[in-house]
Amino acid sequence: MEHVLFTREPPIGWITLNHPQKRNALSLDVITALDQEAKTWAMDIGSASGMTLAMGKKAFYSQADMSENESYAHTQEVIAMNCLTHDAQEGMQAFLDKREPVWKDQ
């Protein structure tokens, strides 16, 4: 679709609507393209380690009542703990071996 640009640099993605003549209106074609891209992004996220995603989500939401410094310290601790897990080690090794990781949620 020429009027919708999807850009990804995981874990972040951008959607750019570029059809100023139509004031970037959401036609059925645009909505269909958005739906398909959202499903693709969800599948990519779903292919990650469930345990790692759960740790990250818990850490993210636990920061709501923390100061900025407390939040940084907490995040550093969670990242360090995550790096010690089997899945983190598997992910790093798979990257070095240029292969898909095999997650065990450990």
Q: Give domain 50-97's CATH architecture.
A: Orthogonal Bundle (1.10)
The pLDDT tens digits for 56-73 are 889 999 998 999 999 999
- Rounded distance between C-alpha atoms, residue 33 and residue 5, angstroms: 10
- Rounded distance between C-alpha atoms, residue 35 and residue 21, angstroms: 23
Q: Cα separations (Å) of 34 from 20, 21, 23, 24, 43?
A: 18, 19, 17, 13, 14
Q: What is the pLDDT of residue 73?
A: 94
**Could you say which DSSP state residue 101 is in?**
-
7, 16 Cβ separation under 8 angstroms? yes
| pTM exceeds 0.85 for this model | no
Domain ranges, ordered by start, for the chain: 4-46, 50-97
pLDDT tens for the chain, 106 residues long, are 577 888 888 778 888 887 777 666 777 888 888 898 889 888 887 788 888 888 988 999 999 899 999 999 999 999 999 999 999 999 999 999 999 899 898 8
